[in-house]
Chain A
Amino acid sequence: MKISGKMTELIEKYRKLVQKYLDLRSYNTAMFWADRVVVLTDNSKDVFWLAHCMYMEKQYHRAAFLLKARNLEKKNILCTSLAAKCYFEALDLEQALQVINNSDFNTPLTEGNIPPDIELGFLEDTSKSHAISSFLLLKGRILAAMDNRSLAANYYKQALRYDVYCFEALDLLTRYQMLSSQEEYELLNSLPFAEQCSIEEVEIVKHLYEMRLKKFHTPMEPKIPNLFASTPDCIRSLPGSIISTPMSSSDKMQIDSCVAVILSKFQTSLDFKVSQAEILYYNGDYDNCLKLTETVLQKDPYHEGCLPIHIACLVEYKQSTKLFSLGHKLVNLYPNKAISWYAVGCYYYVINNNDSARGNLTKATSLDKLFGPAWLVYGHSFANEKEHDQAMAAYFKASQLMKGCHLPHLYIGIECGLTNNVWLAEKFFEQAQAIAPNDPFTLQERGLICFQKQEYEKAEQYFNIALEKIRKVKRGPLTPMWAPLLNNLGHVCRKLKKYDQALEYHNEALILNPQHPATVSAVAFVYSLMDKCDEALEWFHKALSLNRDDTFSRTMLNSLLERAADDLLPYSDSPNELPNFKQSQR
C-alpha cells in the first residue's frame, strides 16, 4: 500500500513535470519523463502525452507508431487527430488519410452525426465539439493537400459549424478562395453563433469574421473614412450597422455600448488595418493603401496577411528597389514560405525580366500548391510577352485552384479577347460575372468585347453600369485606375456619334491621368470628327509631342493639314469674295 501510494505520488509528480516542461518548450525533457510515466502506468492517457511530446520534438513517425501500437488511433478521437497530424506533418498524406478513415468516428461524422462515445479524458476542458472540429479540420487539410479541394472545403465548413471559434477553417476557406463571395456570406450567416457564444460575443465574432471575407468582388468603402486625417493610429468612427437582437432597449443599449468599446479596441488591431488596406487596394487607392501597409509592417514586419497586399501595391507603383530588398529579406528569413519567393518573382516581373520571374513563381507554387496569386502573376508574365496561350494555361491553373475567385476567368477572357476569340472571351466573362456580379472590371471587359463586336450601345451600357458601381462607393474624384473606363466610354460615345459626351469623358480621363498620349489623340480624333479643325490640329500636335511614334496621330495630322489648306478663309477676318484693289489716292 505504501509502495503504491508512493508510486501514485511519483506518477502525479512526473505528470506535472511533463506538463511543465511542455509549457517551457523543453520537449526532450518532457518526453523523458512522459516515457517514465508510461512505463509506470501504461495508461493510454499517458501514452497520448508521450506521443504529444514526440510530435513536438518532430519525431512524427515514432509518435504515430506509438499510438498505433496501442490501437489508440482508432478508438480515441484525440489520438486519431494526433496520429493523422503526425503523418500529415511528415508529408505522408496517404497514411494520414488512412488513419482518419480507419478511425471509429469517421463514418458517423461524415454522415453528419455526432458519435456518442467520445472519450475526452486526456485533455481537460476540451469539449466534444472542439475535438470534432479539429478532427474535421485536419481531414480537410489532408484532403486539400491531396488536391481534393471541394471535399476539403466541405470539411472546413463542418469544422466551423462544430466550433465557430475555429478560425483556421475560415482562414483556409478565405485565403485560398475556396468559396465565392455569396457562399462565404451564406456560411457566415449559417454559423450557430448564438448557440456557442454569449450575446455580446455574437456580434464581435461575427464582425471579426466579416473582416476576413472577400473584398474585391464588389467595390466597397473603407470603414474609416479619415484614416490619415490626423495620426493613423487614432480611430474615430465605428461601424454603424450591427445586427440587432430583440431585447429590452436598455439592455440592448448597454450591450451595444459594451460591444462598441470592444470593437473599437479591435479596430486598432493590425488585422483590422490589413483588411482596410485590402479594401483600399481594391478601390485603387494605392497611395493610402501603401501608407497603411507600411504602418502595419512597421509594427509587425512579417505580418502574413499584410505582405501580399503590400507586395501588390509595390508592383502597382513599380517600386522595384523596395521589392528587391523585401524579397531578399523574406527569402533569407522564410525560405520555406511561398510568399517569399512570390515577392522575388514580383520583383523580376516589375523589372520585366519575365523568365526569372517565372522561375521564382514556380518555386513559390511548389512550396504552396494553392498559392493563387503566384499563378496569376505567372500568367501575367506570359501576357507581358504576348504569349497568349501560355498565359491562358497559367490562368486556367489558377482558376482551378481558386474556385471562388473570378479573376482567373477574367484574365482568361481578356487573353481570348486579345487573340480575337470574341465568343470564347464572352463565355469566360460570363463565368467571372457569375462569381462576382458587381465587379466593375468584369463589366468593363464585357463592354470591351461588345465594342470589339461593334455592338456599341450594349458596350456603353456595360461601361455605364461599371461607372455607376464605382461611383456608388467613391464620393469625390475617382482614382486614376479608372481613367481607362472613362476613355472607353469616350470611344463608345464617339462611335455612337455623341461627340460632346465623348469629349467630356476623355477630358475627365485626362484629369485622372494627365498627359496620356492615347487619350490626347482620342480627344483630337473626336475634334476632327466634329470638323473642328483647329482644335483637332492642336490636340494631334500635343499627342505627337507626348509620343512621337504615334502613327495614327501623324497620319491624321497630315490629312487634316491638307484639309485645312482647302479652307476658304486664309485668315480670321478674310473676305469671302476676291477683294477689289483700291488704288491709294496720291
Chain B
Amino acid sequence: MDVTDIKIDLKTMKQDVLRGISQCSERGLVHALKWLSELNFSLNHIKLLAEDIPLVHEDCGEESATFLLAKSYFNLKEYDRCAFFVRNCTTPKPRFLHFYARYLAIEKKKLDNMTDTNCPPDPTQNDEMKALCSELKNSYYEDQLDGFCSYVYGIVLKKLDLKSQALDVFVKVVQKEPVLWSAWYELGKLACDKYNNILSQVPDHWMKYFFLAHTNLEQLNNDEGLEIYQKFYDMGLKNNSYVMSQIALGYHNNRKLLEAIEMFKKILEFDPYRLDNLDIYSNLLYVLENKTELADLAHKVVNIDKYRVETCCVIGNYYSLRSDHAKAVLYFKRALKLNPQFLSAWTLMGHEYMEMKNINAAIQSYRYAIEINARDYRAWYGLGQTYEILKMPFYSLNYYKQAQMLKPNDSRMIIALGETYEKLDRTENALKCYYKACAVGDVEGSALIKLAKLYDKLNDVENATAVFTEYCLREDEKKEKIPEEQPEYYSALQYLANYYLRKGHLDDAYMYAYKCLECEQTKEQGKALLKAIASKRIEQDDMEPDNEVSMSATREEDTKNDSNNMDLTF
C-alpha cells in the first residue's frame, strides 16, 4: 500500500473519536478510552460546529438503574458483584458489562492466586473461562452479540488459545465497531500469517491505517510502519504520545538506537509521567551501556509509580547493567507478578537467568515469553542457547531455526544455526548457513573463517581458498594485530601458502608462508614451507620443459598437503 494514498478527513475522525469515547467510557473499556482520548487531545485544533458534535444515546430503558448500580461496582473492581446484578439484562450496554465483568473477575482471580506461587496459572484449570466461552459461543451463534460483546468473546477465545476463531470474531468486531481500538490491537497480534487475508476483510475506516502501521511494526516491517506514522505525524497528530512512541519503537526495531532515544526524550518532555514503553527506552540505554541515563530514568520512574511493570523492567535493566543479576531477576519477577502477560520481562528474566547459569529457570522464562508471543525472536534465540548448554543440539537447532525465521537477516541467528548443524555433522547445511551469514553481513566476523573451514572439510579447494583469501584480506585491514591471539588467521595463511605451493604459484605461496613466521605457533611450519618453496623453485628451474614430471610432483604434494589440511581443521 502506498502511504501517499492515506487520506483522512480530520473532522470525521474527530466525530468518530468523540462517539467512541462516550461508548467506551460507558462500558468501562479503559484502555481503548485512553487511546481515543489521546487522539482526541491531539485533534484539539480541529473545531467542530455544535451540530456536528455527535450525541450518543444508548438508552437502557428500564434497566438503566441496574446498569448504573452495576457500573459503580465495576468501577470499584467488584466484578462478580457487578456481573450478578446485570445477569438478566437484555439491552446491549448492561449485557456487555455482564460478560466483561465476568471475564475480568476470572482474570483478577487468576492474578490474585499467583501471589503465592511464582509461575503463571495452570492453563488446564480454567473451567470458568470455558463456561463463559461456551455461553458466549451460543449467543454468538444466534447472532445476539453486538460489537462490544463480540469483543469480549474474542478476548475469551484468545485466552483459550483458539486463535483462528478469535481472529474471525475480531474481524466482525471491527466491522461493527470500527473505533474500538482494542479490537484492532488484538487483531494485529493475531493476524501474523493471515495478514493479507485479514486486510481484505477489515472495513475501509481511518482506523485501518493505525492498524496497518501497528501491525507492520509488530511484524517487524519497520520501514512501512514508520512511513505511515510519519504521515500521521505530518498530518497534524503532533502531540500524540502513542504515535510518537510507536515511531520510537520502529527506530528501536531498526537498530537506529540514537534516533529512538531522541524520540523517547521528546515524549518525556511532552508527557513526563508516561510510563508506557519506557522499558524499551531502558533497553536502548542498556544496549548503549549508558549507565548514568539509565540510573536517572530508573529514579524518575520509581517516583512516578513503583508498582508498574514498566518501572520494574527499567530497574531490572539497571541492575543487570551493573551485573547485579540476582536483583535484576527480583525486579523482573515483580513485573511479572503485576502482569504475567508482560512479554519483555519474561525474555529479560531469561537472559538474567542465563547470566546466573540457572538454565532451567531460563528455559521456563523463555518458554513463557514464547507462549505470550511466538514472534519474540530473542526468546527463541535464548532457548536455543540454553539447550546448547544442556547439550541437546536437536532442540537448540529447532529454536535457532525459529529465531532465524523471524529475523532472517540477522547473522547472529544464522551463525548459531550453522554451529548447531556443525555439531550434528550436517556439514552441508552448516556451510549454507555460514554462507548466508556472510551474505547478510557478518556482525561478529566469525562466519568467514567457519565457512572456509567447512569448504575445506568438504574438499572444495577452490571455494575454500577464495574464502580464506577474503578472510585474510579482511584481517589485514584490521589495524591492531596480536599474533598470539589470532591462531585462526595464521592457520588460514598456512592453508593458502600450501595451496599456492601445490598450484605452483610460488610467489603467492612465499608471501603467505613468510607471514606465518610472525606467530610462534606457525613459525616452524612457515619455515618448512619456505624450504619447500625454495626447493620447488629449484625443481621448476631444472625441469621446466617437462610437464609430465611436474604433474606427478604436484600429485605427490597433494597427498602431503592433505595431511596438512587435517591439521588445519583442528
Contact surface of A with B, Cβ cutoff 8 Å? 228-231, 287, 317, 476-477, 479-480, 510-517, 537, 542, 545-547, 558, 561-562, 564-568, 570-575, 578-584, 586
Contacts and interface: CB of A to CB of B under 8 A. Distances in A.
Given A514-B162, A581-B470, A561 B135 contact: no
Contacts of B394: 558, 561-562, 564-565
Contact of B404 (A230, A477, A510, A571): A571
A513 B133 CA distance: 10
Contacts of B130: 480, 513-514
Contact of B137 (A477, A510, A537, A583): A477
Interface stretch (B201-209, B307-315, B351-359, B432-440): B432-440
Contact of A514 (B90, B133, B433, B458): B133
Given A287-B135, A570-B432, A570-B433, 5 more contacts: A510-B162, A565-B426, A566-B426, A568-B429, A574-B432
A571 B123 contact: no
6 closest Cβ pairs, A-B complex: A514-B160, A561-B394, A570-B429, A476-B141, A579-B435, A581-B463
B218 interface: no
B435 A546 contact: no
Given A477-B141, A581-B451, A287 B432 contact: no
Interface in B451-470: 451, 455, 458, 460, 463, 466-467, 469-470
B124 interface: yes
24 contacts: A228-B88, A230-B90, A317-B127, A476-B141, A476-B142, A477-B138, A477-B141, A513-B130, A514-B160, A515-B124, A516-B124, A537-B398, A546-B123, A561-B395, A561-B398, A566-B426, A568-B429, A570-B421, A570-B429, A571-B432, A571-B436, A580-B463, A581-B466, A583-B470
A547 B397 contact: no
B115 interface: no
A513 B430 CA distance: 43
Contacts of B467: 581
B458 A578 contact: yes
B445 to A, nearest CB: 14
B141 A578 contact: no
B410 to A, nearest CB: 11
Contacts of A562: 394
A475 B130 CA distance: 20
**Most A CB within 10 A of own CB, among B131, B398, B436:** B398
B431 interface: yes
Nearest to A476: B141
A567 B463 CA distance: 24
Nearest to B454: A578
Interface in B66-122: 88, 90
B293 interface: no
Contact of A583 (B124, B142, B432, B469): B469
B408 A514 contact: no
Interface in B387-407: 393-395, 397-398, 401, 404-405
A235 to B, nearest CB: 15
B470 A545 contact: no
B524 interface: no
A296 B272 CA distance: 59
B126 interface: yes
A565 B126 contact: no
B511 interface: no
B432 A575 contact: yes
A572 B409 CA distance: 12
Contacts of A514: 130, 133, 160-162
Contact of A579 (B137, B426, B432, B469): B432
B86 to A, nearest CB: 14
A486 B417 CA distance: 40
B131 A287 contact: yes
A480 B469 CA distance: 67
Contact of B397 (A565, A579, A581): A565
A338 B371 CA distance: 50
Given A514-B161, A514-B162, A581-B463, A571 B141 contact: no
Contacts of A580: 463
A573 B404 CA distance: 11
A581 B437 CA distance: 12
A565 B466 contact: no
A586 B476 CA distance: 13
Nearest to A225: B142
A307 B124 CA distance: 30
Contact of A511 (B162, B401, B429, B460): B162
Interface in B413-428: 414, 417-418, 421, 424, 426, 428
Contact of A572 (B137, B408, B429, B458): B408
A571 B417 contact: yes
B360 interface: no
B161 A581 contact: no
B397 A561 contact: yes
B12 interface: no
Contact of B123 (A479, A515, A565): A515
A571 B162 contact: no
A582 to B, nearest CB: 8
B486 interface: no
Contacts of B401: 564, 570-571
Contact of A517 (B124, B432, B466): B124
B117 to A, nearest CB: 15
Nearest to A580: B463
B402 to A, nearest CB: 9
Contacts of A230: 88, 90
A546 B122 CA distance: 8
Contacts of B405: 571-572
Contacts of A583: 466, 469-470
A480 B162 CA distance: 15
Contacts of B141: 476-477
B49 interface: no
A322 to B, nearest CB: 15
Nearest to B140: A477
A565 B396 CA distance: 10
Nearest to B398: A561
A209 B367 CA distance: 60
A545 B371 contact: yes
B473 interface: yes
Contacts of B535: none
Nearest to B137: A477
A513 B123 CA distance: 12
Given A287-B134, A287-B135, A565-B426, A571 B165 contact: no
B134 A570 contact: no
Contacts of B395: 561
A581 B435 contact: yes
Contacts of A479: 134
B417 A570 contact: yes
A553 to B, nearest CB: 14
A582 B127 CA distance: 60
A230 B63 CA distance: 12
A80 B468 CA distance: 117
B427 to A, nearest CB: 10
Nearest to A574: B432
Contacts of B126: 515
Contacts of B393: 565
Contacts of A545: 123, 367, 371
Nearest to A232: B88
Nearest to A317: B127
Contacts of A561: 394-395, 397-398
A574 B401 CA distance: 12
A565 B424 contact: yes
A583 B433 CA distance: 17
A573 B123 contact: no
A509 to B, nearest CB: 11
Nearest to B396: A561
**Most B CB within 10 A of own CB, among A511, A567, A582:** A511
Contact of A584 (B90, B127, B160, B470): B470
A545 B463 CA distance: 45
